[in-house]
Amino acid sequence: MEELLELALAAAESGAEVLRGRDAGRLGVTGKSGEGDWVTRFDVAAEQAVLRTILDRRPHDTVTGEESGTHRPEHPSGIRWSVDPLDGTTNFIRGIVYYCTSVAAADAQGNWLVGAVNAPALRRTYFAVRGAGAWVEEDGASRRLEGPVPDRAGRLYGTGFSFDADRRERQFPAFAATMRQYTDMRRLGSAALDLCLVADGALDGYGEQGLHEHDWAAGALIAEEAGALVTRPELPSPAAGEVPAADRLAAWLTARERGIPG
């Protein structure tokens, strides 16, 4: 596990280093699946940096990246990485600081082992190891994350909505019902960072529909290891070298205080 965590942190840092070179005049923005769903040349460059870091050290691992798909070795090790090189692309384009590089590794049974989320504009790196807890490193100091504060007044809920107007309209009723248990909400534009803020206790809960696996792979493990109750979209457990269908649009991912309905 120590080797995998070290590599996850190094890979996330390699992507974040690319993002630190943000140049508003050279973003290279193009559309993906629809209006509001963007990719920049930084997404692509950051993913290539992450992939090089992982595969240089572990060439027999499988790596699934948001932009380039799945890289399968001839003789897979049984470890698979899920990479979001730039979670919060719209924020990145607009100069809003909530964006990050997210890297996580799972075993052949689909158990998430390590995760790292590096937010360069915030100068924070969140990370976790399965069964061993979660931490944040900021300004050279690390501290353990302990999740949402129990029974706190003024509970805050984080969420996000689809780029597609019809799908977004269908999301609103479930959101409204959930908000009866919270006082207010925040919408950061990065699922990975929303989950890390649940881990850090800044948010008391988070839920979002229609996420891809790379959006939540690292953040969900970090929140879970901090003590939050995490419900992931149901994905098949992949055999070595196989990749689950990551896009389950009807499924919600939630993270919240244990014992509190979400």
Going by the annotation, the residues of the binding site for Mg(2+) are 66, 84, 86-87, 215
What whole-number distance in Å separates Cα of residue 113 and Cα of residue 88?
A: 24
For helices 213-225 and 191-199, the axis angle rounded to 10 degrees is 0
The SS3 of residue 165 is helix
| Binding residue ranges | 66, 84, 86-87, 215
State the DSSP code for 246: -
Going 248 to 254 to 260 to 262, the CA torsion angle's sign is negative
Query: What is the sign of the dihedral through the CA atoms of 218, 221, 225 and 226?
Result: positive
**Sign of torsion over alpha carbons 190, 194, 197, 203:** positive
Angle CA 163–119–15, to nearest 5: 90
Three-class secondary structure of residue 2 per DSSP: helix
Q: How many helices (H) and strands (E) are present in the chain, helices listed first? A: 6, 15
* Alpha carbon 55 to chain centroid, angstroms: 20
Interacting residues of 34 by C-beta distance below 8 A, sequence separation 6+: 163, 164
Provide CB contacts within 8 A for 99, sequence distance 6+.
19, 86, 87, 88, 89, 91, 92, 119, 121, 189, 190, 193
